[in-house]
Copies of this chain bind each other. A is one copy, B any other.
Amino acid sequence: MSTIGDLGEFGLIGRLTRRLRPGRAVRLGPGDDAAVIAAPDGRVVATTDLLVEGRHFRRDWSGPYDIGRKAAAQNLADVVAMGARPTALLVGFAAPLSTPAAWAERLYDGLDDECRAAGASVAGGDLVGAPEVTLAVTALGDLGGEPPITRSGARPGDVVAVRGRLGYSAAGMRLLAEGRDGPAELIEAHRRPQPPYAAGEEARALGATALLDVSDGLLQDLGHIAAASGVRIEVDSRAVPVPAILGADGPRHVLTGGEDHAFAGTFPADTVLPPSWSPVGVVAEGAGVLLDGREPEVAGWDHFRA
């Protein structure tokens, strides 16, 4: 079984790029100093995340394919949360030279498949040897002539609504930490989030005034909208869906668990929301986030403190 050290940098680049399926937006793919990606809007949406082994994923909890899908998903969701269409991913991959080449190939299969699910593709990247596996993922997207849906447009009177699963990933991580192997649906949700990528276009069509993807916990992320928009967000805990599968800690997982990459947005008060969007609160004058009228005790995830 050959390792990535056996193949060397350029051998591995060849192996991996052969597995990728370039999408329509890729004008020039891997192999040059840089890629060239279509940006028909005249602007490009761009976001980057750094995923470090032991902190953002564990190789004993997740296989390479799922790590790839998750790394891609969290960046593609950020593009969608701007109301944009994902076009391409750039991937920096650091790993020990002893890593099996097959592990790296499955990682890139996961990246490639998740890109396809969102209408994008892997267009380039960088490979380096390092003591730990690290992934640096940059996602690009196109706004199609529309303004970005930022975090700063929420207005008092707006309704707050969410689209997608909440709490599943946090519940699944808890199970893994406890050494349990079920319910499989929760563990799978932690290994491979399924952001509802259509949410960006839906939110735009519904007239969303603000939008983000829930990566650090619903209450904390709504706090970002509150801060950026200069408003208060009032969440009604009884309105937030808590599926029975989440168990006794379900309410907590739903309110503070990140990594499901659901979408949360604010909409004008008279918006008729389709069933896929659950109203969970309202926007008011003021600052911060209130849960049932009070300041919540725990909001979510800090990448530096946790």
Cβ B44 vs Cβ A9 within 8 A: no
Among B43, B52, B81, the residue within 8 A (CB) of A130 is: B52
Cα distance A50–B44 when bound, in Å? 22
* Complex CA distance for A12 and B36, rounded to whole angstroms: 32
Beyond A33-B81, A150-B28, A212-B33, is A8–B46 a contact (Cβ under 8 Å)?
no
Report yes or no: A32 in contact with B125, Cβ–Cβ below 8 A: no
Considering only residues 21-35 of chain A, those with a C-beta below 8 Å from chain B are: 27-28, 31-35
A164 to chain B, nearest CB (A): 14
A304 with B81: in contact, given A33-B212, A35-B45, A50-B94 (CB under 8 Å)? no
Residues of B within 8 A of A141 (CB): 34
| A44:B47 contact, CB within 8 angstroms | no
- Total interface residues on A, CB under 8 Å, equals 74
Residue of A35, A151, A304 ringed by the most chain B CB atoms within 10 A: A304
Near B by CB (< 8 A), chain A positions 133-161 give: 134, 136, 138-141, 143, 148, 150-152
Contact yes or no, B46 A123, CB < 8 A: yes
Expressed in whole angstroms, the Cα–Cα distance for A123 and B28 within the complex equals 23
A140: chain B residues at CB < 8 Å are: 44, 46
From A84, which residue of chain B is reached at the shortest CB distance?
A: B34
Q: Could you tell me the distance between the alpha carbons of A4 and B5 in the complex, rounded to whole angstroms?
A: 34
Contacts from A to B (Cβ < 8 Å): 4-5, 7-10, 12, 27-28, 31-50, 52, 55-56, 78-79, 81-82, 84, 88, 90-94, 97, 123-132, 134, 136, 138-141, 143, 148, 150-152, 211-213, 228, 302-306
